[in-house]
Amino acid sequence: MQRDWIAPPSAGLGVCLEGLRKDFGTRAVLDGLDLDIAPGQFVAIVGRSGCGKSTLLRLLAGLEPASGGQLRVGGAPAAARRDDVRMMFQEARLLPWRTVQQNVKLGLATPDADGRARDALAHVGLVDRANDWPAVLSGGQRQRVALARALVHRPRLLLLDEPLGALDALTRIEMHRLIESVWRELRFTAVLVTHDVAEAVALADRVLLVEEGRITLDEAVGLTRPRGHGSEAFADIEGRVLSRVLKESAQVSSEQQPRLAA
Amino acid sequence: MATPTRHLRGLAPWIVPLLILLAWEASSRSGWLSSRILPEPLAVGAAFWGLLVSGSLLHDVAISTGRALGGLAIGGGLGLVLGLLTGTFRTAETLLDTTLQMIRNVPALALIPLVILWFGIDESAKLFLVAIGVFFPIYLNTYHGIRAVDAGLVEMARSYGLQGWPLYREVILPGALPSILVGLRFSLGLMWVLLIVAETISAQSGIGYMTMNAREFLQTDVVLVGVLLYALLGKLADFVARELERRFLRWNPTYLGVTA
């Protein structure tokens, strides 16, 4: 009862990408990328910086148009699903001139906006800071407000663009637990972009590696939740993905060596 | 313990003006300063009182303030509207900004001969001078304020479904406000400068008229009353600007530090 404000049944939307391209000038950042994400799945995308993982997320959010290929969210073009898709950015991007509660209800036009905003804040444990200015919050608290702001719109696809990158290790682990618990409860589809393989393995059903605009590794993570960082199976998967990322970058640099010399 | 120190700190900025006043009074009394050059502070005080009681002081101050605020409303209002336009719309910027930047480089006071030819020496000439002077600080700071709004916040707001007027009201205007208020503060300072010049050229009333009139009759004390009035009014304008900032920028960490 308490949380029926957010989740309609079977909330998650599937994502289907076919031959997705994105060019910046003559450079192809995404080069014919194919991907299917089942409704309600938690997918993490890892890769070195500049591999196109953030661009992929921005296309899913409708922040940028694709240069070619198909992009369907819940069976419809992404542009038609904008209201069902919410994004958490690397920085919290709270409006400094609005209180925490006003930030959370941004863009919410319903008469019960205030009540929903407070519910969402209760969800992330910050209801007692509802009337504070963002400037007095810590980095972790700001990202929790940003999460509440995304949740209040009842998203069916939540995109997370390295939202924990700037947080300290302890706050990150707290945020992992929080994100995992709201995802389990509300069953939206989640796509997390991160450079931290351990974070990807801790949270995702599936870890994807993006290299040179394509998906080159698709690793299912079958561990039971909640996952402990210490377990052997966890370390095994983390090690496998990590060595794959590093091997590829070693290859790339050895390929580039002669070119530099020539 | 805390209260007396706070009182002392509140008084501290006034120590130097007070010392200057005492030194001035002493040198006038000792005959070191001729009253033609600088009458003693008490004489200035007496002149002030006399003008106040006769009612002419309040009349002149009211007239001057009316002109200053009228010019500010016209020039500042236009600056705000045009700044919002050129800041928001590329087309408006392309059409208007170059022209405005050229006019900006002409000192407002250089226009005085032209202003006299156009408007004669009546009220509209004074309003025009003040308006054109306060226009540019507000225009420029509004324009730059809008342009400098954090693109990340705008992108976030758009992806959360805001566009058009709600986007403007929630993100762009509040983001530009600190800069607009800086422009207002500059304008308030310029406003008095331009008014003084306008009123000393030609006026039948106002503080400038009062001082120019007093000069004719060698009433140095009345001239000094005028100078002090400008100082007080300038300080008052600055105070108002500061209070506006404190009120509208409450969210800013600078001001949070003050209240917390």
Q: Compute the count of residue pairs across chains A and B with CB atoms less than 8 Å apart.
A: 54
Distance CA A71, CA A57 (A): 11
Which amino acid, A157? L
What residues of A are in contact with residue B157 (Cβ under 8 Å)? Answer: 95, 106-107
Q: Which residue of A has its CA nearest to B248?
A: A97
A163/B contact by beta carbon, under 8 A: no
Distance CA A32, CA A22 (A): 9
Q: What's residue A258's pLDDT? A: 47
What residues of A are in contact with residue B177 (Cβ under 8 Å)? Answer: 97
Are the beta carbons of A63 and B250 separated by less than 8 Å? Answer: no
Distance CA A260, CA B18 (A): 74
Q: What's residue B128's pLDDT? A: 92
Nearest Cα to Cα of residue A11 among A138, A184, A156: A156
Are the beta carbons of B251 and A133 separated by less than 8 Å? Answer: yes
Q: What's residue A253's pLDDT? A: 53
A107/B contact by beta carbon, under 8 A: yes
Q: Give, in degrees to the nearest 5, the angle at Cα A223 between A217 and A226.
A: 125
Topology annotation, domain B43-251: MetI-like fold (1.10.3720)
The DSSP H or E segment spanning B91 is helix B90-104
Distance CA A181, CA A175 (A): 10
Are the beta carbons of B162 and A89 separated by less than 8 Å? Answer: no
Give chain B's end-to-end CA distance (angstroms, integer).
20
**How many angstroms separate the CA of residue B251 from the nearest CA in chain A?**
5
- Mutate which of B251, B252, B254, B256 to disrupt the A interface (most A C-beta within 10 Å)? B251
The DSSP H or E segment spanning A44 is strand A42-46
Q: What tokens does A14 get? A: 């599937």
Q: What's residue B3's pLDDT? A: 60
B93/A contact by beta carbon, under 8 A: no
| Domains, chain A, ordered by start | 15-93+158-261 (3.40.50.300)
What residues of B are in contact with residue A149 (Cβ under 8 Å)? Answer: 160
The DSSP H or E segment spanning A70 is strand A68-73
The pLDDT profile of chain A, 262 residues, written as one tens digit per residue, is 344 455 454 589 999 999 999 998 888 889 889 999 999 999 999 988 888 888 999 999 888 889 989 899 988 888 788 889 999 999 999 999 999 999 999 988 888 899 999 999 998 999 999 999 999 999 999 999 999 999 999 899 999 999 998 888 889 988 999 999 999 988 999 999 998 999 999 999 999 999 888 899 998 998 888 787 778 889 889 999 998 888 765 655 555 444 444 3
The DSSP H or E segment spanning A214 is strand A214-220
Token pair 């006399």 is at which residue? B50
**How many angstroms separate the CA of residue B147 from the nearest CA in chain A?**
17
Positive or negative, the CA dihedral B153, B156, B160, B166 is positive
Q: Where are the domains of chain B?
A: 43-251
Q: Which residue of B has its CA nearest to A84?
A: B160
Q: Are B221 and B44 in contact (CB under 8 A)?
A: yes
Q: How far from B80 is each of B66, B102, B124, B135, CA to CA, in Å?
A: 20, 18, 21, 8
Q: What's residue A2's pLDDT? A: 46
Supply the ipTM of this predicted assembly: 0.84
Q: What's residue A178's pLDDT? A: 93
Q: How far from B211 is each of A7, A105, A250, B202, B223, CA to CA, in Å?
A: 74, 58, 82, 12, 5
Q: What's residue A261's pLDDT? A: 41
Rounded to two decimals, what is the model's pTM? 0.81
Distance CA A75, CA A71 (A): 9
Q: What's residue A9's pLDDT? A: 47
Q: Are A119 and A185 in contact (CB under 8 A)?
A: no
SS3 B54: helix
Q: What's residue B201's pLDDT? A: 80
Please list the ranges in chain B whose pLDDT falls under 70: 1-4, 257-260
Distance CA A6, CA A113 (A): 12
Distance CA A54, CA A89 (A): 10
What residues of A are in contact with residue B155 (Cβ under 8 Å)? Answer: 63
Nearest Cα to Cα of residue A186 among A162, A219, A153: A153
**How many angstroms separate the CA of residue A107 from the nearest CA in chain B?**
6
What residues of A are in contact with residue B175 (Cβ under 8 Å)? Answer: 97
B178/A contact by beta carbon, under 8 A: no
Q: What's residue A5's pLDDT? A: 52
Are the beta carbons of A86 and B160 separated by less than 8 Å? Answer: yes
